[in-house]
């Protein structure tokens, strides 16, 4: 999976968030959460434009991700790999 980063990329974009769909809120997974759920590689293209703090935050989430909206814990799978490109 690939995701194009920009200076505005934040954790909500990468993890996901709730959106109003047909009158109710549904959680939509971002690329980080989706890659971890699928146990596949995620390439964050143009990640050099992210601040050092943002890149550090992303790295801390890759061992285990907790999504408060769904109360879901997503562990790091054997095949999950994050590439900061």
pLDDT digits 0-9 by tens, 23-63? 999 999 999 999 999 999 999 999 999 999 999 999 999 88
Average pLDDT, rounded, for the chain: 94
The answer, yes or no, to whether residue 85 has pLDDT greater than 90, is: no
Verdict on whether the full-model pTM lies above 0.85: yes
What are the Cα distances from residue 21, in Å, to 5, 26, 31, 36?
Answer: 25, 6, 20, 24
Joined together, the tokens standing for residue 34 give 């989706």
Q: What is the mean pLDDT of residues 75-85?
A: 94
* Tens digit of each residue's pLDDT (9 = 90 or more) over 11-26: 999 999 999 999 999 9
Consecutive H or E run containing 59: helix 52-61
């Amino acid at each position: 999976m690939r995701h194009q980063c920009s200076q505005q990329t934040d954790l909500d974009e990468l993890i996901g968030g709730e959106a109003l769909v047909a009158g109710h809120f549904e959680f939509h997974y971002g690329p980080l959460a989706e890659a971890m759920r699928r146990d596949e590689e995620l390439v964050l293209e143009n990640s050099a434009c992210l601040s050092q703090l943002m890149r550090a935050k992303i790295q801390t989430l890759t061992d285990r991700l907790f999504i408060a909206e769904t109360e879901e814990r997503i562990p790091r799978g054997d095949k999950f790999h994050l590439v900061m490109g």
